Amino acid sequence: MFAKFKSLFDPSKKNIKEVQSTVDEVKTLRDTYKDKSLEELQTIIKEIREELHPLIEAIPEKYKSSIKAPKRNKDYVAKEQAVQDTLLKNLPKVYAATGEVLRRRVGYVHYDVQLVASTILAQGYKLTEL
């Protein structure tokens, strides 16, 4: 009886459900990227780096820290959040592009559960049981 209630409020299932749309987007992009050349995949990653570079450079080196760090400089919280938001926005593109390169070079394709776990971890220090 309690097992039903436990599964109803299971935070792991909630975390997995939250990232499923991102995983689906990665899989869709991965299919799209199969037709792209390595140069095109490199260009995708380069564009993301160029988008991130000014955001990262706006934060002085001594204040760069984890967004979850307890002793963060209050002046740079919004800038750190902008970096994090940009990273999360581009996460499906990065996973799909690097996954496609890995598939071509090594012949390895990530399992969905690996994409789920890495997406959850990329969102912060959330741990989940898969």
Residues 102-129, mean pLDDT to the nearest whole number? 86
10: in domain: no
4: in domain: no
Residue type (1 letter), 83? V
pLDDT tens digits along 49-85: 999 999 988 888 877 766 556 666 777 788 888 888 9
Question: Regarding predicted confidence, which is higher, 73 or 121?
Answer: 121
Question: Regarding predicted confidence, which is higher, 60 or 114?
Answer: 114
Residues 24-34, mean pLDDT to the nearest whole number? 95
Express as a percent the part of the chain with pLDDT over 90. Answer: 52
Q: Cα dihedral sign for 33, 95, 22, 83?
A: negative
109: in domain: yes
Domain that holds residue 112: 15-122
pLDDT of residue 18: 85
Q: Which of 20, 29, 25 is nearest to 97 (CA)?
A: 29
Residue type (1 letter), 72? R
Question: Regarding predicted confidence, which is higher, 117 or 7?
Answer: 117
- pLDDT at residue 122 is higher than 60: yes
Q: Which of 85, 90, 65 is nearest to 76 (CA)?
A: 65
Cα–Cα separations (whole angstroms), residue 114 to 23, 98, 108: 10, 14, 12
59: in domain: yes
The whole-angstrom separation of Cα 49 and Cα 95 is: 14
Q: Which of 96, 89, 106 is nearest to 40 (CA)?
A: 96
- pLDDT at residue 42 is higher than 60: yes
Q: What is the mean pLDDT of the chain?
A: 85
pLDDT of residue 60: 83
Q: How far apart are the first and last CA of the chain?
A: 22
Residues 107-125, mean pLDDT to the nearest whole number? 88
Domain count of the chain? Answer: 1
130: in domain: no
